[in-house]
Chains A and B, each alone.
Chain A
Amino acid sequence: MLSLAAVSAGYGSMRALFDVSLEVPAGEAVGVIGPNGAGKTTLMRVISGLIPLRGGAITLEGRSVGGLAAHRMVEQGIAHVPENRRLFPRLTVEDNLRIGAFIPQARAYFAEQLDRIYALFPRLKERRDQPAGTLSGGEQQMCAIGRALMSRPKLLLMDEPSAGLAPLVVAQVFEFVHRIRAEGLTVLIVEQNVQQVLDVVDRAYLLEVGCIKLSGTAAELKGNDFIRKSYMGL
């Protein structure tokens, strides 16, 4: 569904990604793991159009989408759950979900999609009229995922969904990923929490200092000595 060919990107004179190529087949969940500063967030930001594409190509279902502005990417079917959730703190939960359905093709299904999100995350329904800033970390992550799903995407990008959450809540967040996959969505997830992310994805890539170092199925990577030593502490 999504394919990146030799993508490079950066900020100012600094390059953060060097010729990154990866494939996300439809219906699969793919992980990108790697240390802090490896370029994982940059990768997410270049796919969703928040930062410009410096080189290479991004194709979604065969169409070239590289270099489109972020709001056009949403129209193409890519939704991005940003790092640290980035909810609109003074808007209510329901207003956060409403803004997720901003694009015209999603507005028409707003009520229907809202019901689906509330069925997926009943806690959000209980808190619908509360400012999003007053939610707990786990609830905020539900709301951020729900907000992204409101645009009825084909592909969901998740940037460090477990960051800054208590261990118990982290387990819950990975359970959300399971639920989303069960809905038939394609997911690209970036995580530092290697052990747990390899339990929910089909395949994964290892990104180090802006380059893909390794790739394989989740089982292969779990068995890889380098990954076990450097990232799983085994």
Chain B
Amino acid sequence: MDIYLLEAIVNGILLGGVLALLALGLNLIFGVIDVVWIAYADIVMCGMYVVYWLHDFGWPLPLACAATIVALAAFGALIHLLIIEPILGSAPINQLLATGGLLFFLQSFATLLFGTDFLNIGVRLPIIEFGGIYISFARLLAFALALVGAVALYFFLRRTFIGTAIRAIAQDRDIIGLMGVDQRRIYIITSMIGGALAGLAACLLVLQYDVHPFIGNTFGPLIFMICVLGGLGDMIGGFIAAFVISQIISIGGYYSNTELSYVLAFTFFIVLMFVRPRGIFAR
């Protein structure tokens, strides 16, 4: 096989890791709270600024990353309490407008605070060569840590009482109280996990991309497409769809160019929505 094609495939897999992580977060929130966080990618953008500034301030990178994950978990809880909770019972369109409003707020606020400069964290990680193909260590690390995050989430949801409650609440909201579960508390915990996943993704992305207020626009639509493709709320479907899309982008980019590969990915998405409107893995 063509060595460059192989490199494109490997890069596609690595790109898929972070996308899969974000799809997990978004699907978790949607599955449990039944609300779509339209601003999810922009929450990640905020996280990237936090890592950038903490690192710039002199904090060692791992510490800055840990602090960012904690900060974004708190931010997730705040978003739930301030924006989502008051409109839980209202029409879905209002919820979309509210979280969509948060998107513009975050972008504008970041512009106001930091300007539109592209900021680079300035951590240079090596490029490693493996059997003739070149892989960026930052991408490899991002992939590995995204996978660790996903596996940790899996075990949390499978093995703990709170994780079981999170899975149960999506299946029957009305009687969850009869199990002794405080729905509000589960919503807050879920929002914190969603925030923490965005925080982890922010740490992984800041090593690969410059931060600017509109970076969310570059991968936000991609995450939504992945979630819808996998079946909104279906965590495993979204996880797999992330790798499908990242392969299309990566291999498409190898045969043509990056812009066209995005066109290809979205075309694939539109066609699939006609064929399988409820997602690839719809039951």
Contacts and interface: CB of A to CB of B under 8 A. Distances in A.
Given A91-B168, A95-B164, A99-B168, A74 B175 contact: no
Q: Which of A48, A75, A98: most chain B CB closer than 10 A?
A: A98
Given A88-B168, A88-B171, A99 B179 contact: yes
Nearest to B162: A102
Contact of B179 (A49, A69, A107, A147): A147
Interface residues of B, number: 16
B181 interface: yes
Interface string A147-162: 1100100000000000
A69 B177 contact: yes
Contacts of B172: 86, 88
A70 B164 contact: no
Interface string B139-172: 0000000000000000000000100110110011
A231 B167 CA distance: 41
Interface string A80-98: 1010001011110001101
20 contacts: A49-B177, A50-B174, A50-B177, A69-B177, A69-B182, A71-B177, A71-B180, A71-B181, A74-B179, A82-B178, A86-B175, A88-B172, A90-B171, A91-B164, A91-B167, A99-B181, A101-B161, A102-B165, A102-B181, A151-B179
Contacts of B181: 71, 99, 102
Contacts of B177: 48-50, 69-71, 74
A74 B171 contact: no
A80 B165 CA distance: 17
A86 B164 CA distance: 16
Given A91-B164, A95-B164, A107-B161, A100 B171 contact: no
A86 to B, nearest CB: 5
Contact of A106 (B167, B175, B180): B180
Interface in B177-201: 177-183
Q: Mostly helix, strand, loop or mixed at chain B's interface?
A: helix
A103 interface: yes
Interface of B: 161, 164-165, 167-168, 171-172, 174-175, 177-183
Given A49-B177, A88-B172, A71 B167 contact: no
Given A91-B168, A98-B164, A50 B179 contact: no
Nearest to A70: B177
A48 B178 contact: yes
Nearest to B159: A98
Contacts of A79: 178
Contact of B175 (A50, A69, A75, A95): A50
Given A98-B164, A107-B161, A82 B175 contact: yes
Given A91-B164, A98-B164, A103 B171 contact: no
Contacts of A50: 174-175, 177-178
Interface in A91-147: 91, 95-96, 98-103, 106-107, 147
A74 B165 CA distance: 15
Contacts of A91: 164, 167-168, 171
Contacts of B182: 69, 71
A222 to B, nearest CB: 31
A147 B176 CA distance: 12
Instruction: Give 8 nearest A-B pairs by CB, closest first.
Output: A70-B177, A74-B180, A103-B180, A88-B171, A88-B168, A102-B180, A71-B182, A80-B178
Nearest to B178: A80
A63 B175 CA distance: 24
Contact of A102 (B161, B171, B174, B175): B161
Contacts of A106: 180
A143 to B, nearest CB: 13
